[in-house]
Each structure stands twice: as C-alpha cells, then as structure tokens.
Amino acid sequence: MTARSNVQKANRRLAIKLVVVTVAMFGFGYGLSPMYDLMCTAFGLNGKTGRVTEQAAEQPVDANRTVTVEFTGLATSGLPWEFRPLTKKIEVHPGKIMEVKYLVHNLAQEEITGQAVPSVAPGVSAIHFKKIECFCFTQQTLKPGETREMPVRFVVDAGLDKDVHTITLSYSFFNANKASAKKYGGETMAHGEEHAPHAHPATVSGG
C-alpha cells in the first residue's frame, strides 16, 4: 500500500510539472510575436523602423554628408491595387526632414482596405530611419477605382554608420480582409505583421 501510494504521489507531481511546463510554453508562444515586434521597433531588427513626432525628429543637419535613399513598393497577390513610389531615389543630408509620395490605385470595382508593411535595408540602418508621417501607420481604404497619393515624411539621423551610403525603404501592401484576399487569389499579411505597432484600422479620405 505504501509503495502504491508513493507511485501515485509521484505521478501527481509529474502531472503538475507537465501542466506548468505546458502553460509556460503557451504563454511564451503567445507573447513571442508582440515581444519580437517591440524588439524590432526598438533596435531596428529585421528592417523595421520606428515612429517619431516632428519635434523629436528635429536635429542638426549634417550638410557635409549625403545618403542615397531608394524607394520601392509592391501590392501583394490578393490586393488588386497598383502601388508604386512617385520618387525612385533621392539624396538626403542626415538630420534633414524629407518627404516623398507613393501612388496607389484601386483596380477593383469594390471598396478594399489594405495595410502596408515597411522594411528598411540594410537592417542596421533601420534604427536610424525615423518616419514622422506614413500611410503605413494606418490601414488604407480605397473606393472602387480610387487613386491616391500618400506621403512619407522621414529623417535619417546623424547616428547612421558612416559606411552606409544607400538605404532602401520598401513597402509590401496586403489586403487587410482575409475573405477579400482569397477572392483575388492571395493571402492577407503574414502572422505577426498584423500586430505591428502602427497597424491600426482607419479610413483615410483622399483622391
């Protein structure tokens, strides 16, 4: 009887340990995506950039140095939009606030909402690429056939490594609605990207 009791106690202890481990693993997995996004935003990992106010972006301009900033963009499958930068490349002085525009055109005969996900290369430059205003901060809803010019205001801060001479800002535009994306033969944004700090739904008017 004593041996059997000891076995039962040991089994209970093992079961409790397994439950604790399972809960801990679930909690870690659940929190991994937002933690990853926060780390990317803070340290410029994986080409993700941060958002700053215009006041916070103000700094001395380094007139003795120029950096080439290139712009690219694509509408992913599932989003029937034309999407491209109106400016392909510019030369900027670190510390100077700049603005460029992207053009987006809804080719569908229905209202569609999209979300742009940005990336900066090389990744080490992302922490020094500060966006003040960007269409990627909110979801964008376009009416059937609507065309819109969307600005990006940014600054490359003077802390950028002297060996970095070219920065590329890229955007991937996703259909924000899973059913709509499937209808047009594609997917919505990848898991975790919908939790990006700036991905909050909003409708922005314009034409």
Q: What single string gives the DSSP state of each residue in the chain?
A: -HHHHHHHHHHHHHHHHHHHHHHHHHHHHHHHHHHHHHHHHHH-GGG--EE--HHHH-----TT--EEEEEEEEEPTT--EEEEES--EEEE-TT--EEEEEEEEE-SSS-EEEEEEEEEESGGGGGGEEEEEEGGGB-EEE-TT-EEEEEEEEEE-TTS-TT--EEEEEEEEEES-HHHHHHTT---SPTTGGGSTT-B-------
Residue 78: partners with Cβ closer than 8 Å, 6 or more residues away: 174, 175, 180, 181, 182, 184, 185, 186, 187, 188
Query: Per-residue confidence of the chain (207 residues) as pLDDT tens digits?
Result: 565 665 566 666 665 655 554 544 444 444 434 443 444 444 444 445 667 787 777 889 999 999 999 999 999 999 999 999 999 999 999 999 999 999 999 999 999 999 999 999 999 999 999 999 999 999 999 999 999 999 999 999 999 999 999 999 999 999 999 999 999 998 766 544 544 433 333 333 333
Does this model's pTM top 0.75? no
HSE (side-chain half, CA atoms, 13 Å) at 140: 29
Report the pLDDT value the prediction gives residue 206, as an integer from 0 to 100: 32
Q: Can you tell me which residue has the tokens 């955007």?
A: 171
Domains, the chain, in order of start with CATH, read: 45-195 (2.60.370.10)
Report the pLDDT value the prediction gives residue 42, as an integer from 0 to 100: 42
Report the pLDDT value the prediction gives residue 91, as an integer from 0 to 100: 98
Report the pLDDT value the prediction gives residue 128, as an integer from 0 to 100: 94
Q: Can you tell me which residue has the tokens 């590329």?
A: 168
Report the pLDDT value the prediction gives residue 26, as an integer from 0 to 100: 44
